[in-house]
Chains A and B, each alone.
Chain A
């Protein structure tokens, strides 16, 4: 099992990303207005799985495939009358949570991104393998007694995000640096997950913090805190199970840096409301999730998140 994870990590280092521009003339000046103002790491390549977490409530251990869509509107310029453009971030992700021992699990996320946006000068696409995240989780506490009224599970995790996605140097200075498939940096992640259940009802909460490092261009995305909590209910009938869930999820981003200096208007925060449902039969399960922003302040108000949604198909291990 372990070998596969390592293999994934290293093989994928060698695949790249490519940028496609539909415009005939690369109008430098209008791209030029994009710049550093826009980018917190909210969009393209964050390690948190687009704020949707690393876990499934239905299955503790699984391999699966997940599609995520994130919609943003960004201001194409520095001015009050600059036009807003739509940005679409699409990710297909192989994700897994693999048991190693009774108390240890390894979680891996291998994303492939295909993003696009419509600039005033034409449509721009970027696609490629993203940054791979690998985390180890350790179960600190797990209610053992079947007779307990409440069952609790608390897990601590740590891991890293490898710069397997290409951070395109060519993009720097001409387009929004967060319009990337990778941050170009090795990032370190700490995570806590907690689930409390009474009979069929439960509360699942997670919190993770990502320490981001400087990439080869001396650009450093700000550290990121992600958190979320959701109430769920398990309907169970024979081998069939449906788990609706509803809650909130939030993210805060510290200021980005270049050569160690703060870059103005790059920090931000956002709070989402989320609803979802997971349905499982035998070893297969299917999930749908939707997130709508409740409040947000990203990059000085020049980027607005519209919505996020995802679907996934998992196979229980």
Chain B
């Protein structure tokens, strides 16, 4: 009796051990196309960005309250673990992220099945696309226009629209600020940014991973290089505006470290 119990326990243990060791489908060649979701979570210096509410003080000792944070991301390239690059269809590769309009999610479709470990994308609109002219990109131009992301056609797109109010030690009272990033005839301020994913994004016909980006608005003025709003005041001393000149090149440099990927959700793994 005793012996048979021991045997049964051992058998049960062994059986469950064996049944649990099923292999996954990694060894098989994945084929077909799937989707990938990109989610842009806007933040400011480690805090969740809440428009019109959160104030924070940057390393320039200026205290900002942000009322608008919109930007254009474009030209997505998904990079596999072996270095293979999948270039997303250029015609469909321009998107607006807007905190006020709650545009945070991008859905990339027809992505070849694979394991993606890096993503490269542009902040803004590249010259090549811009020079194709207005009619070639009318629908995106209209969308950008509706989200305060354009000047006139001749002056082009705003890549970043960052607005709010601020106080500074050298100024009395609260002032408004407007930071409008873009390219102009003098400089091309479109930048490419490459982010490394903390976990592989597995795309399968039935698995759509979601990549969770965090964008840090603080990096615009307080990145590797510093821009003081108090040094960009208008003549009346009521408002700071950063819309041209050298400062846009500084911002372009800062924004290359504005994005990180916090995590990747695996997609539905139902088989």
Contacts and interface: CB of A to CB of B under 8 A. Distances in A.
23 contacts: A2-B9, A6-B8, A9-B12, A32-B210, A36-B263, A36-B265, A77-B48, A79-B48, A80-B46, A81-B54, A159-B13, A160-B13, A172-B266, A172-B269, A173-B267, A185-B20, A186-B16, A186-B20, A213-B20, A213-B21, A259-B24, A263-B198, A263-B263
Interface in B42-90: 43, 46-48, 54
B46 A217 contact: no
A159 B8 CA distance: 13
B20 A216 contact: no
Nearest to B210: A173
A165 interface: no
Interface in B1-24: 2, 5-6, 8-9, 12-13, 16-17, 19-21, 24
A238 B14 CA distance: 46
B130 to A, nearest CB: 32
B191 interface: no
Contacts of B19: 186
Which of B54, B199, B214 has the most C-beta atoms of chain A within 10 angstroms of its own C-beta? B199
Interface residues of B, number: 37
Contacts of B148: none
B230 interface: no
Indicate the member of A2, A79, A169, A213 with the most B CB atoms within 10 Å: A79
Contacts of A29: 39, 104
A218 interface: yes
B20 A35 contact: no
Interface in B237-271: 262-263, 265-270
B202 interface: yes
A85 interface: no
Given A100-B2, A162-B16, A78 B41 contact: yes
Contact of B265 (A35, A218, A264): A35
Nearest to B271: A216
Contact of B41 (A2, A33, A216, A263): A33
A284 B266 CA distance: 49
B189 interface: no
B20 A37 contact: no
B231 interface: no
A169 B263 contact: no
Contact of B43 (A79, A186, A213, A214): A79
